Amino acid sequence: MFVHAAQAMGYFTAVLDADPDSPAGLVSHHHIRTAYDDAQGLAQLAAVSDAVTTEFENVPAAALDALAARRPVAPGAAAVAVAQDRAREKAHFVQCGVPCAPYAVVDTPAQLAAVPDALLPGILKTARMGYDGKGQARVSTRAELAAAWEQMGRVPCVLEQMLPLALECSVIVARGQDGQCVLLPVQRNLHRQGILAVTEVYEGNVPPVLAKQAQTAAISIANGLQYVGVLCVEFFVLQDGRLVVNEIAPRPHNSGHYSQNACDVSQFELQVRCMAGLPLTPPRQHSPAVMLNLLGDLWFAPGGDTPRTPAWDAVLALPGTNLHLYGKREAKRGRKMGHLNITAPTAEAARSTALQAAALLG
Ligand code: ADP
Ligand code: MG
């Protein structure tokens, strides 16, 4: 989607991804099929590019550093390195004065033994490489905690206190090369089994005071990282009304996909503008929006493994529906295959269409 946005503005694009079926590679002018840390591949990428970004936070920071020696890279390796590691990420939140869940770093058996009781029940999360709820275990007792850490192969982890959530929301901030920030409206997110399922964006989706707080926090987190590019900051709103930061993603984010159809500038175009040093004007949302994620489960008949094609005809007959499929070769349960953006003149209409679409997709 980033590649599409760049191409729409007249840019040629290059993608470095070892996977021959890489959706971005398939639609790009150049596809360099090497590992992220392959010196030759990186040299090739630098040679054909005027600016470089990453769509995946687990690209080794060393690879971004190597590219940065030859071309502007946004976000920079230092910021991406913070986002790659939950322990560093949380330390950054603390440094910025933005409250996060009480937590402890678990790298060693001694740290495991020293975890305060107050963090239980909690969620043990691998410090690196987690996504869509993967690399996480919910633990209620010290015995469960120890077993979960064993199960994860004793890799560096953080244990977070399980918080009573009222709702989840996120903010997309784009920070330019001059440090100017622009924001998309606050997104309200619904997760199922640790995976984003629905994003709703319209007036009043989140109490305005909290929305303002989330936006202010997102800007201080971006400023603190001297960030350049599009950053997503995920938050929890607790049942007592407090706002707590959860995690950051150093790239356009699933919860910002609605901007493709509901805003005058999408999060992907914002990334292009950041990279190219073009002006960042405050994005304007012109329509209330609901985004539905399309997981691979929809490609199987309910209760079985019989492949099917989701009911696109019926869904696209609903007004204000825009289908985005990523061109992934194989549908798997729990795999994000695409999303449906639904826009309407009112929030009620968008929600009602989203309910109809969800029912049709079954
Ligand atoms: P991922 O990298 O997989 O997105 P997250 O840390 O965002 O990992 O966790 C995924 C989801 O799990 C969150 O969106 C939230 O619904 C739930 N979750 C994570 N941490 C907590 C917590 N400390 N308390 C309650 N729920 C949590
Ligand atoms: Mg998350």
Q: Which pLDDT does position 132 carry in this prediction?
A: 80
* One domain for residues 45 and 156: no
* One domain for residues 350 and 269: yes
User: What average pLDDT does the structure give for the chain?
Assistant: 97
Identify which has the larger pLDDT, 134 or 91: 91
Specify which residues 323 forms β-bridges with.
340
CB 308 within 8 A of CB 41: no
What stretches of 44-128 adopt beta strand conformation (E)?
103-106, 122-126
**Residue 303 clears pLDDT 90, i.e. is over it:** no
CB 232 within 8 A of CB 171: yes
CATH code for the domain of 56 = 3.40.50.20
Q: How far is the CA of 1 from the centre of ligand 1 (A)?
A: 25
Question: What one-letter code names the amino acid at 216?
Answer: T
* One domain for residues 78 and 197: no
**Residue 250 clears pLDDT 90, i.e. is over it:** yes
* CA count, 13 A, side-chain hemisphere, 83: 30
Q: Which pLDDT does position 131 carry in this prediction?
A: 83
Question: What one-letter code names the amino acid at 294?
Answer: L
Q: Is 90 known to sit in a ligand binding site?
A: no
- In ligand 1, which atom is closest to the CA atom of 234? 7
**pTM score, two decimals?**
0.96
| Percentage of the residues of the chain whose pLDDT score is greater than 70 | 100
* One domain for residues 199 and 309: yes
* One domain for residues 329 and 231: yes
Average pLDDT over residues 226-241: 98
**Residue 85 clears pLDDT 90, i.e. is over it:** yes
Residue 93 falls inside a structural domain: no
Residue 79 falls inside a structural domain: yes
* One domain for residues 63 and 131: no
- Cβ contacts of 261-267, under 8 Å, gap ≥ 24: 261/287, 261/289, 261/322, 261/341, 261/343, 262/201, 262/286, 262/287, 262/288, 262/289, 262/341, 262/343, 263/184, 266/1, 266/5, 267/172, 267/174, 267/184, 267/230
Structural domain containing residue 130: 102-161
State which of 114, 140, 161 marks the end of a domain.
161
pLDDT, one tens digit per residue, over 254-292 is: 999 999 999 999 999 999 999 999 999 999 999 999 999
Kind plus residue range of the DSSP H or E element containing 92: helix 86-96
CATH code for the domain of 294 = 3.30.470.20
Residue 94 falls inside a structural domain: no
Closest among 205, 185, 202, 312 to 256, alpha carbons compared: 185
State which of 83, 113, 146 marks the end of a domain.
83
State which of 53, 83, 113 marks the end of a domain.
83
* One domain for residues 298 and 233: yes
**Residue 330 clears pLDDT 90, i.e. is over it:** yes
Q: Which pLDDT does position 292 carry in this prediction?
A: 98
Average pLDDT over residues 315-344: 97
Question: Minimum-distance ligand to the CA of 123?
Answer: 1
Tokens 């929301």 found at: 169
Residue 91 falls inside a structural domain: no
* One domain for residues 305 and 352: yes
* One domain for residues 154 and 170: no
Confidence of residue 133 (pLDDT cuts 50, 70, 90): confident
Residue 95 falls inside a structural domain: no
Q: Which pLDDT does position 57 carry in this prediction?
A: 86
Residue nearest to atom 23 of ligand 1 (CA): 162
Ligand 1 neighbourhood includes 126 CB (under 6 angstroms)? no
Ligand 1 neighbourhood includes 56 CB (under 6 angstroms)? no
Average pLDDT over residues 183-199: 96
Confidence of residue 130 (pLDDT cuts 50, 70, 90): confident
Q: Is 86 known to sit in a ligand binding site?
A: yes
* One domain for residues 153 and 216: no
Question: Which residues, 6+ apart, have CB-to-CB distance to 287 below 8 Å?
Answer: 261, 262, 320, 343, 344, 345, 350
In this structure, of 60-64, 180-184, 293-297, the range with the lowest mean pLDDT score is: 60-64
* One domain for residues 267 and 188: yes
Tokens of 236: 């929890």
Q: How far is the CA of 12 from the centre of ligand 1 (A)?
A: 37
Residue 332 falls inside a structural domain: yes
Residue 88 falls inside a structural domain: no
Tokens of 292: 């539905």
**Please, what is the Cα angle at 266 between 56 and 242, to 5 degrees?**
75
Closest among 4, 319, 321, 148 to 310, alpha carbons compared: 321
Please choose from 196, 246, 255 the residue to mutate so as to test ligand 1's pocket, defined by most ligand atoms within 8 A of CB: 246
pLDDT, one tens digit per residue, over 18-70 is: 999 999 999 999 999 999 999 999 999 999 999 999 999 889 989 999 999 99
| Percentage of the residues of the chain whose pLDDT score is greater than 90 | 96
Looking at the 3D structure of the chain, how many domains does it have?
Answer: 3
Closest among 136, 145, 210 to 171, alpha carbons compared: 210
Residue 96 falls inside a structural domain: no
* One domain for residues 32 and 143: no
CB 262 within 8 A of CB 286: yes
Tokens 């609903």 found at: 318
Q: How far is the CA of 194 from the centre of ligand 1 (A)?
A: 6
CATH code for the domain of 141 = 3.30.1490.20
Q: Is 215 known to sit in a ligand binding site?
A: no
